[in-house]
Structure 1
Amino acid sequence: MKILVATDGSDTSRKALQYVKEIAAPLKAEVTVLSVAQELAQLRAHEAYAEVHSFDINIAEAMKKIAENALAEAEKMLAGLSVTTRLETGDPAGVICRIAQEGDFDQVVLGSRGLGGLKGMFLGSVSNRVVNCSQTNITVVK
C-alpha cells in the first residue's frame, strides 16, 4: 500500500501524520510525505500581502523553510516506517492532486485546515479542493 500524506507543519497536519503512523505500520505501507511551499503569486492574492516586492526573495525563502521544517518534523514523527519526503513549490491543492495521481497512491491523508491565509478562508480550502480533484481515496483528519 502507498500512502501520500501532506503536511504544512500545522496542528492538523501533525494529527494527519499521527493517523498515518497508526495505520502504516500494520499495513507495511510505503509513506511519502509531501510539503508544498506556496508560490508568491498566490501569496500576493491575499489582501494582507504588502506591495513591497523587495521582500519577494525573503518570503519565498521563508515559505521553503516552513516546508522543510514540516518535512523534518514528519520524518521524526514517522521514524521506523518506510518514508520518503518530497518538497514541491506551487498551489498546494493542485500539487497534492498531481502527485497523488502520478504516484499511483492508494490513499491521501491531510489535515482539515492548515497554515493558509485566514485559516483556509474558513473552509479548509486545500483539503476541500483535494477531495474534489483527487481520483484516489482521501482521509481528512480534524
Structure 2
Amino acid sequence: MSFKKILVALDDSPSAPKVFHHALDTADREEAELLIFHCTTMQRVSEAVPLMGTGIGIDMSSSKMMFELQQQHLKKETERVEEMMKGYRQQAEERGVKVKTESKFGDPGSWICDVARSWDADLIVLGRRGHRGFKEVFLGSVSNYVLHQASCSVMVIQGHLPEEEEEKET
C-alpha cells in the first residue's frame, strides 16, 4: 500500500519524538506529504489556572481575573506548541519531506479524525500511552477512538508503558 498524505498526531508525552520519527521515515520512504498535528485539551489549559472556589459567590473581579489567567496560559501554551511544531517541521524539511503543521484546541480524538478527513489523509500515525483498565476508562484513549472512527489507515506506535506495567513485563 502506498501513502501520499500522512497525518502525524503528536502530544507532549515522552514517546512523541518516537511517533514523529516513525511518521517521518514513512513519509520519506513513500515520498508522501506530512501533516504534523497537535491538539491542546481544555485540561491542559486549566492545569495552570488556580481553582477559586466552586463558582458560587465569585465576584466580577475574581471572575475577570480567572478569565485573564486562562487567556495568559492559553497564549503561553500556544507559543510552546508553535515552537515544538517548528522543531518537528524543521526536521522534516531537512529530510526533503513536504510538510505542513496544524494545531487545534479541544478533543484530540475528534480533531485528529476531522483534520485527517478534511485533508484527505490516507494514514494517521499516533502514539499510545499504554493505559489499561480504570486508567483507560477515566483518562480515555485517543488511539482507541481514532482506530474506530478514522476514515483511513491508522498506525499506532506503542509509547512508554506505565511503571507498574514495565515491572510486570520484566
TM-score (norm 1): 0.79
Quick one: which of 33, 36, 40 aligns to 2:36? 33
Matched, 1:55 2:58: no
Question: Sequence identity of aligned pairs in percent?
Answer: 26
**Larger relative contact order (CA 8 Å, sep ≥ 6):** 1
What residue identity is the alignment partner of 2:114? R
Quick one: which of 61, 64, 89 aligns to 2:78? 64
Quick one: which of 76, 94, 97 aligns to 2:90? 76
**How far 1:49 moved relative to its partner?**
6.4
Does the CA-based 8 Å contact 2:45-2:77 persist in structure 1? Answer: no
Query: Who wins on radius of gyration, i.e. which is larger?
Result: 2
Q: Mean Cα displacement is larger for which, 62-71 or 19-28?
A: 62-71
Quick one: which of 113, 135, 150 aligns to 1:134? 150
Partner Cα separation in structure 2 for residue 135 and residue 49 of structure 1 = 36
Could you tell me which residue of structure 2 aligns to residue 88 of structure 1? Answer: 104
5+ long unaligned stretches in structure 1: none
What residue identity is the alignment partner of 2:145? R
**How far 1:70 moved relative to its partner?**
2.5
Aligned residues: 134
**How far 1:34 moved relative to its partner?**
0.8
Partner Cα separation in structure 2 for residue 15 and residue 122 of structure 1 = 23
Q: CA RMSD in A?
A: 2.7
Partner Cα separation in structure 2 for residue 135 and residue 89 of structure 1 = 21
Q: Mean Cα displacement is larger for which, 101-110 or 7-16?
A: 7-16
**How far 1:81 moved relative to its partner?**
0.9
Partner Cα separation in structure 1 for residue 71 and residue 155 of structure 2 = 34
Partner Cα separation in structure 2 for residue 2 and residue 68 of structure 1 = 22
Partner Cα separation in structure 2 for residue 62 and residue 85 of structure 1 = 18
Does the CA-based 8 Å contact 1:8-1:67 persist in structure 2? Answer: no
What residue identity is the alignment partner of 1:3? I
What residue identity is the alignment partner of 1:23? T
Could you tell me which residue of structure 1 aligns to residue 126 of structure 2? Answer: 110
**How far 1:77 moved relative to its partner?**
2.8
| SS of equivalent residue, structure 1 residue 105 | coil
Does the CA-based 8 Å contact 2:9-2:125 persist in structure 1? Answer: yes
5+ long unaligned stretches in structure 2: 53-65, 159-170
TM-score (norm 2): 0.67
Partner Cα separation in structure 2 for residue 11 and residue 75 of structure 1 = 18
| SS of equivalent residue, structure 1 residue 109 | strand
**How far 1:63 moved relative to its partner?**
2.6
